[in-house]
Amino acid sequence: MLFLNRPPSPALQPFIRMLWYCRALGLPFARERVLPNGCMQILINLSRDYLTDCGDDGTSNLRQPQTMISGARARYEIIDTGDLNDLAGIVIEPGGFPGLFRERADLLFNLSTALDDLWQTPQLVDSLCRARTPARKLDRLESFLQQLLRRREPARRSETADHALYLFRHRGLNVSSCARSIGISERRLSQVFREQVGLSPKLWCRIQRFQAATGALHRGIDMPWAELALSCGYYDQAHFANDFKAFSSIDPTTYSAQTLRWQNHVPVV
């Protein structure tokens, strides 16, 4: 298995968090849950001319376009591990989607759409397939994004959404405190944040707490559940357990008992 990722060039960083490439052949599980992380992604299948829609229960095998944009999600998504045989991706920085695509991020909440519906990319897949190494594939993917920025001036990021993201990340404020700090109503904050990030601010904060918890468990941290819950920003163990089950469909004990390659990929057994 090979997984390569790197941050983009400075010009892309307001919009793009990470470029990545995966080659994972012969995985022992046909399906995996991908846990929500609050980001949108672009997926490009280089091994076959489609991506697989497994449905909410993982039993479907519907074919989707080869290049897709996946919106921010409120719960896990089930994927076909065959799509990981030769797959490239772009993680969009929260708040970066409207600048690149000139569309509201919340229009894709819990949804996916063909990349060609928003960007015309007829030569992108062929260019990536012809690249000889994973590093060269990422070079070409980044070059495509840079050319796109030169051809069409991106929209400016929302100062309101960026301020809220900063306060949530670095000050640990709740939604009401964040709105007061910015000087707008909670309703207005929620509207702007949803349009720019793709999720309500409350849901985004819940997902970040969940990500802090899964990150700690994935690193093998050993502490009582109640202590872990508090360290990740939960009021108590009950809120921690309820959110964990809501986002992943499994409990923390089941998650921590597994040896996982990646924090946000859990085999469906």
Tokens matching residue 219: 């690193």
pLDDT tens-digit map of 123-136: 899 999 999 999 99
The yes-or-no verdict on residue 153 having pLDDT over 90 is no
- State the pLDDT at residue 87: 98
CATH number belonging to the domain at 2-151, selected among 1.25.40, 2.60.120, 3.30.160, 2.170.16 = 2.60.120
Alpha-carbon distance 2 to 20, whole Å? 11
Interaxial angle between packed helices 186-197 and 159-166, expressed in degrees from 0 to 180 and rounded to the nearest 10? 100
Domain boundaries, the chain: 2-151, 159-267
Average pLDDT, the chain: 95
Fold of 159-267: Arc Repressor Mutant, subunit A (1.10.10)
211 close to 37: Cβ distance less than 8 angstroms: yes
**pTM reported for the whole predicted model:** 0.95
99 close to 156: Cβ distance less than 8 angstroms: yes
Question: What backbone phi and psi angles, to 5 degrees, belong to 65?
Answer: -55, 160
- State the pLDDT at residue 154: 84
